[in-house]
């Protein structure tokens, strides 16, 4: 691995203090499905740092991202954080800086073979996608030495690395409740609103007797899981159709 050294007169607060939030979403043919939900969560995250994302700013971001989306179907990441970091942690940036990243979306979806692992750090509320939380996630992955993971803590399921999880058990789809360690995913919210599943505290023991399992996020939608802890699961389970149909309707 090579090393690049740069002399910087200033540094974005997102890098200096992790003072940033981001959203990953699907951009398709000039449209950004569920944009309002993404902005709502982004606004909540920025307010935690004392920044306001007003409607005009949100419209400007939407216009910019929509223009990029006209060139095809992409995965897009939008990161917002404070401007230059002045000396002192508690000094406030005078403006927000937006970074937009566009990435091609692979059509191939490799089978998901997951393992349950215990989250090695303390849990806290996750009302938005804070950059600092994902930096911690990277450290957690290094500690457990695995990447295809479903996290659990104190005997309760949390979710995947970048997705919420769903378990089909006794005729119902269940997803872990938004307790201190579960992100309120955009896809998750759409599926719950459609009435195809319920949220609850999900014991990790449910992994041993669930009939089917899926992950969900706003980029990939519903992703069937092929196995959990070595136990094969049917990716074509009849109950999967309801989840997928609800997601397709949400983004239509």
Q: pLDDT tens digits for 61-114? A: 999 999 988 888 889 999 999 888 777 777 777 789 999 999 888 777 889 999
Outline where the chain has alpha helix (H): 13-17, 35-48, 55-69, 131-144, 186-193, 240-251
Q: What is the mean pLDDT of residues 19-43?
A: 93
pLDDT tens per residue across span 162-180: 999 999 999 999 999 998 8
Q: Assign 193 to helix, strand or coil.
A: helix
Which domains occur in the chain, in start order? Answer: 13-104 (3.30.470.10), 113-251 (3.20.10.10)
Angstrom CA distances, 50 to 45, 81, 172, 228, 246, stand at: 9, 11, 40, 41, 36
Tell me the whole-structure pTM to 2 decimals: 0.92
pLDDT band at 16 (very low <50, low <70, confident <90, very high): confident
Q: Give the dihedral sign, CA 182/27/192/205.
A: negative
- Strands of the sheet containing 156-160, edge to edge, are 156-160, 149-153, 113-118, 227-228, 231-232
């Amino acid at each position: 691995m090579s090393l690049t050294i740069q002399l910087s007169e200033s540094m974005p607060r997102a890098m200096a203090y992790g003072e940033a939030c981001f959203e990953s979403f699907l951009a398709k043919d000039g449209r950004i499905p569920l944009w309002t939900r993404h902005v709502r969560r982004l606004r909540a995250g920025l307010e935690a740092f004392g920044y306001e994302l007003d409607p005009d700013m949100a419209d400007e971001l939407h216009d910019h991202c929509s223009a990029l989306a006209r060139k095809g179907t992409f995965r897009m990441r939008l990161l917002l954080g404070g401007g230059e970091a002045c000396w002192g942690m508690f000094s406030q940036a005078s403006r927000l800086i937006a970074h937009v990243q566009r990435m091609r979306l692979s059509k191939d979806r490799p089978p998901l073979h997951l393992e349950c692992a215990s989250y090695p750090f303390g849990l806290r509320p996750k009302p938005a996608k804070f950059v600092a939380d994902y930096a911690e996630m990277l450290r957690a992955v290094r500690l457990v030495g695995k990447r295809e993971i479903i996290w659990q803590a104190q005997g309760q399921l949390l979710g995947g690395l970048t997705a919420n999880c769903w378990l089909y058990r006794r005729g119902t789809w269940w997803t872990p409740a938004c307790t201190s360690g579960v992100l309120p995913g955009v896809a998750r919210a759409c599926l719950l609103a459609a009435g195809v599943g319920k949220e609850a505290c999900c014991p990790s023991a449910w992994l041993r007797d669930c009939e089917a399992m899926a992950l969900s996020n706003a980029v990939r939608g519903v992703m069937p899981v092929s196995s959990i802890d070595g136990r094969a699961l049917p990716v074509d389970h009849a109950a999967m159709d309801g989840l997928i149909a609800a997601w397709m309707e949400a983004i239509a």
